Every structure is written in structure tokens, then in C-alpha cells.
Amino acid sequence: MIQWLKDELNKREKSSLYRRLPSPTMQNLKVIASSNNYLGLAKDERVLHAAREMILKYGTGSTGSRLTTGNFDIHERLEKELAHFKGTEACLLYSSGYLANLGVITALADRDTIIYSDEYNHASIIDACRLSGACIIVYKHNDMIDLERKMREYKNHFKKLIVTDGVFSMDGDLAPLDQLNNLKEKYNALLIVDDAHGTGVIGSCGRGTSEHFSTKPDVIIGTLSKALGSEGGFVCSNKTIIHYLIQKSRPFIFQTSLSPGNIGAALKSLHIIQTEKRHVMLKEKANDMRHFLRTLNYSVPQGMTPIIPILLGEASVALQFQKKLLELGLFIPAIRPPSVPEHTSRLRCTLMFTHSDNEIDWIKQAFQSMAPDA
Ligand code: PMP
């Protein structure tokens, strides 16, 4: 009866695309250089303590949706602080970044909407666009000429969204928010930016990609699960859009609200981010690593984020690299299609503020021993 499932799995296995959960013992390796815990806050003593305090005061779970029994003062406090951090009027929490994307896009778009979506957008944006029932027009990655050509075609259409990652998760490059902002003004669209990987990391104060470009997208979506070392999602925007989401956004309306421990952790991390400027040193570490890898002839695109893709081509090659690195005590996962386009399989190396000099040297030595010219 389930032969077709087995056939599909066998097919995957043969093409090096089979997904396996990394062993939990990976957590005990000498170095992990692939975490989204960019600023090292997920294990910061102060963040752990803040989470614990909130759990003791409010409980382990929030036990209800925001519209029923799950609206606590700490939800509103975190929303206020995130709105302030991002420079917007208001904010709304979700229980993950994935659900924030789903919740915003399905609320703001319907069958009458045209969504312009970057071809490299995160899966949660792609899923959200599909679920909304809107007409989806995919434009070439960061290609403003292609986008404008496609926008011109429907310039009189009344409901249009442009949706993009702020920092692209598999390439680590930035969306040109200044140019996207010009296009959204010119063609009267709303600009939605998923800044999951930019928040806490990009911009002179770590406020994200919008700070870097000095722009104000209509909607900024974020996650608490990366630089903020917690879990949960959020949406920063003007009051009208936030009130609209409260009416219409099904993942917001029907989910149990964010748990107190996650809120405590996020509040503390937000404070640390704003006072310690960890992202500045992280950027230097990442620039140095990028430079080092390029001198070894690895194919590493230019960038300014802690996400360092090492392009290897075929999935089987990327898997071999992952395996060799594991033998050296280093975990950096191979990223393969469909997460990235065919023939662009890669290692996705990410650095953390808390990587010690020794750990950085370890990473460098590992790559040196496997270098194309070694
Ligand atoms: N957007 C982007 C760009 C992401 O990389 C991710 C997580 N990988 C998400 C959204 C989803 O965030 P979360 O893990 O909080 O659900």
C-alpha cells in the first residue's frame, strides 16, 4: 500500500537529497559553525535567568490565545519594546517566525492581490503566498530591473505586495531595501520584509536591514529564534496593519500565545543587543573568515552578515565536505536542493559572537586541510 512512499524515499536516497536528522551528539562536537544563535544569547547566563524568572512568575505555558486567556502584560511589554527597537508604531507577537510570515501574508493578500516575491525567499514566505490564493509573480533574485518590468505590467492593479527576505538565509546577502522602497512607492504597493536574519545583526545599532538602508518598509517580520536566542515571531508595522492582523490573521487568532520563558529571554536579549553591540565584533569575525576562505580558493560570495555560504556545486560534494568536517569535530551542514537551486549545494557556515579565537582557528584549520588547492 505504501510502496509509492518507499519508491520516493529510494529516489531521494540515490540523488543525495535524502534528509536525515543530525545526531543529537552533534551538540557535543568541538565546534558548531552553523547555528542561528548569532550573538550567543541562547546560552547567556542573564538570558537563562530572565527566562527562569518569567516561568516562575507566569508559568511554563500561557495556556490560551491572546484573544482569550493568553494576553499577559509581558506580551504587551515585549511588543512595545520590539516596536521601539524597529522604529514602528506597533508590533504583534506570533509563536514562530514561520507563523508570522504565514499570518501576515495570508491576512494581507487574497485572490485579488498580486504578490511580487523574490525567487530566493524563505520557504515560509513561499508557503504563505501560496496559501493566500494571491497571484504570485516571482522576480529574479534581487533583480530590480526584472521586478520593475513585472510591476509595470500590472501598474494599475489596486492590491499589490512586494515580499522579500531582508537577509537571505542561504546566501547571507541583503535585499536592496532602498531600491525596493522606491519601486513600492512608484507602483503603489506594500513592502513586506522578513528580517529573520537581519534583526540584531545588521545596521549600526543591530536594528536590522531597514536600519542599514535607512528605509521604513510597511511591514517588518522577525523571529526571536536567531540573534535573540529565544523562540517566537513578531511583526512590526503601523497601527492600522497591526489592528487588521488582530482581526484577520488566523495563526495569530487561533494559536496559544507565546510562552513566558520565551518572552523573558527575548526581553533580556533585546536589552543586551542594545547595550553591548555584539554585532559589530561579529561582523569583523565574519569578514575575516570570508577573506580567509577566499584566499584558499573556496567559492565564497562577498557579504556582510555572519552567514558564509561555501559553494560546492553538487549535493554529493557538499555531503562529502560535511562528513569530512564532522570527522574533524566540526558541524557545518550541507544545504542541498530544494533549499537552494540545483548545482549550488553548499556548506552554510555561520559564525557566532561567542566563538573563541581557538574555535575560529579550528574552523580555519579544518577548511585549510580540505582546501581545493591543498
Ligand atoms: N524566515 C526566515 C528567512 C528564516 O530563515 C526562518 C527560519 N529558518 C524563518 C523565517 C522562520 O523562523 P522561525 O524559526 O522562528 O519559525
Active site residues per annotation:
169, 197, 226
Respond yes or no on whether the N-terminal peptide bond of residue 338 is cis (omega within 30° of 0).
yes
Nearest to 186 by CA among 242, 144, 137: 144
Give the CA-trace dihedral at 213, 216, 219, 220, to 10 degrees: 40
The amino acid at 366: A
Per DSSP, the residues of 193-241 read EE-TTTTTTSSTTS--HHHHHT---SEEEEESSSTT-S--EEEEE-HHH
Q: Which residues pair with 136 in a beta bridge?
A: 115
C-beta atoms surrounding 312 within 10 Å:
24
Domain 45-275: CATH architecture, name and number where available: 3-Layer(aba) Sandwich (3.40)
Q: What is the model's pLDDT at position 374?
A: 60
Nearest to 233 by CA among 195, 180, 184, 264: 195
Residues 6+ apart with CB under 8 A from 20: none
Verify whether ligand 1 is closer than 6 Å to residue 124 (CB atom).
Answer: yes
In the chain, what are the domain boundaries?
20-43+277-369, 45-275
CA–CA distance, 187 with 313 (Å, rounded to integer):
38
CA–CA distance, 142 with 119 (Å, rounded to integer):
8
Verify whether ligand 1 is closer than 6 Å to residue 234 (CB atom).
Answer: no
CA 32 to chain centre: 18
Residues 6+ apart with CB under 8 A from 174: 166, 167, 168, 198, 202, 209, 212, 213, 304, 305
Q: What is the model's pLDDT at position 354?
A: 97
Q: What's the CA-to-centroid distance between 195 and ligand 1, angstroms?
A: 9
- Using the structure block, give the residue that is written with the C-alpha cell 513592502: 191
Verify whether ligand 1 is closer than 6 Å to residue 98 (CB atom).
Answer: yes
User: 21 in helix, strand or coil?
Assistant: coil
Q: What's the CA-to-centroid distance between 220 and ligand 1, angstroms?
A: 13
What nine digits make up the cell of 309? 555560504
Residue pair 109/161 in contact by the 8 Å Cβ criterion: yes
Q: Which atom of ligand 1 is nearest to the CA of 223?
A: 15
Evaluate whether 20-43+277-369 and 45-275 have a shared fold: no
Q: What is the model's pLDDT at position 29?
A: 77
CA–CA distance, 57 with 171 (Å, rounded to integer):
41
What nine digits make up the cell of 346? 553548499
pTM: 0.95
Q: Which residues pair with 236 in a beta bridge?
A: 91, 220
Verify whether ligand 1 is closer than 6 Å to residue 32 (CB atom).
Answer: no
Report which protein residue has its CA nearest ligand 1's atom 4: 196
Q: What is the model's pLDDT at position 135?
A: 98
User: 15 in helix, strand or coil?
Assistant: coil
Looking at the chain, how many residues does it have? 374
The DSSP code for 29 is S
225-to-112, 262, 266, 333 alpha-carbon distances in Å:
33, 9, 9, 18
Verify whether ligand 1 is closer than 6 Å to residue 172 (CB atom).
Answer: no
Per DSSP, the residues of 101-114 read HHHHHHHH--TT-E
User: 36 in helix, strand or coil?
Assistant: coil
Question: For the purposes of burial, counting CB atoms within 10 Å of the CB of 314, is it exposed (0-12), middle (13-18) or buried (19 or more)?
Answer: middle
ipTM confidence score: 0.99
Q: What is the model's pLDDT at position 359?
A: 94
What CATH number has the domain spanning 20-43+277-369? 3.90.1150.10
List per-residue pLDDT tens for the chain, 374 residues long.
Answer: 699 999 999 998 888 788 888 888 877 777 889 999 999 999 999 999 999 999 999 999 999 999 999 999 999 999 999 999 999 999 999 999 999 999 999 999 999 999 999 999 999 999 999 999 999 999 999 999 999 999 999 999 999 999 999 999 999 999 999 999 999 999 999 999 999 999 999 999 999 999 999 999 999 999 999 999 999 999 999 999 999 999 999 999 999 999 999 999 999 999 999 999 999 999 999 999 999 999 999 999 999 999 999 999 999 999 999 999 999 889 999 999 989 999 999 999 999 999 999 999 999 999 999 887 66
Q: What is the model's pLDDT at position 25?
A: 81
